[in-house]
A and B are shown apart, each in its own frame.
Chain A
C-alpha cells in the first residue's frame, strides 16, 4: 500500500496569495498516476487534477499540479474566496488506490 502524506496540515493565507500544497508518497508512484481534489463540507469532492498535471474539465488555470516519483505539488497561483477548502491527493498506480490525509487552506 502506498501511503500519501500531505503537508502542511493547515495553510493560513489571504485571498490573492499563492498556495503551495505538498503530497509525499512512501514509494514511487508509477509514472503519472496522481490526482488532486477539493472538498468543502457537505458537498461532493471535486476533481481538480489527474495524471499529476492535467486539469479536469472546467478547472481554472490558477490550479496547477507538478511532481514525480515520491514528491508532488498542487499550486494555486492566486487564491480566490471560493478556494478555501480541504485538498486531497490520491494515487492510482499502486496495488490499490489510496488518499492523503488532506491540507486545509483557511483564510488568514
Chain B
C-alpha cells in the first residue's frame, strides 16, 4: 500500500524559499500511471492545488504560483520536492503531497483525483 510523508522546515522567514520533500513508500514514483502532486490548505484559501510532476520530469503548475514554483523528482530516492520562492504570510498553510491519477487529459496536461495523501505538514511564514 502506497504511503506518502511530507518533511521540511515548519518555519520559513518572509522572502525566503520554502522547501519540502515527499517520500513515497510501498510504490515507485516511476510508475507511468500516476502524477505526484502538492496541495496546500489555509483558512483563507481552503484547499489549493499547487502543481504536479510525472516521473519523466514533466511538470504542471497552478498559474497563480508558477512564477515562484519548482517541483522536482528524485527517482533514486523515490521522492519528489517542492520549492516556493519569495514566500509571504499568505503562503502559511498545511502542505500535503498526494498521488494523482489522471482522469482527464487534454492536449497539454492531465488532471485527476488524489489518492492517497500524506497527512500534511504545517509551514508558517514568519520572521
Number of interface residues of B (CB under 8 A): 23
In the assembled complex, which residues on chain A have CB atoms less than 8 Å from the CB atom of B115?
47, 50, 56
A81 to B118, CA, bound (A): 24
Are A30 and B104 in contact, with the CB atoms below 8 A?
A: yes
Closest to A33 in B: B104
The answer to whether the Cβ of A66 comes within 8 Å of any Cβ in the partner chain is no
Are B49 and A97 in contact, with the CB atoms below 8 A?
A: yes
Q: How many A-B residue pairs have CB under 8 A?
A: 62
- For chain A, residues 39 to 53, give those with C-beta under 8 angstroms from any C-beta of chain B: 42-47, 50-51
Are B119 and A43 in contact, with the CB atoms below 8 A?
A: yes
The answer to whether the Cβ of A102 comes within 8 Å of any Cβ in the partner chain is yes
Q: A98 is contacted by which of B49, B104, B113, B114 (Cβ under 8 Å)?
A: B49
A98 to B101, CA, bound (A): 15
Residues of A within 8 A of B (CB): 30-31, 33, 35, 37, 42-47, 50-51, 56, 88, 90, 92-93, 95-102
With A46-B117, A93-B104, A101-B46 already in contact, 8 other A-B pairs whose C-beta atoms are closer than 8 Å: A45-B114, A45-B117, A50-B103, A90-B47, A90-B113, A92-B104, A96-B49, A99-B49
Residues of B within 8 A of A (CB): 4, 46-49, 60, 62-63, 96, 98, 101, 103-104, 111-120
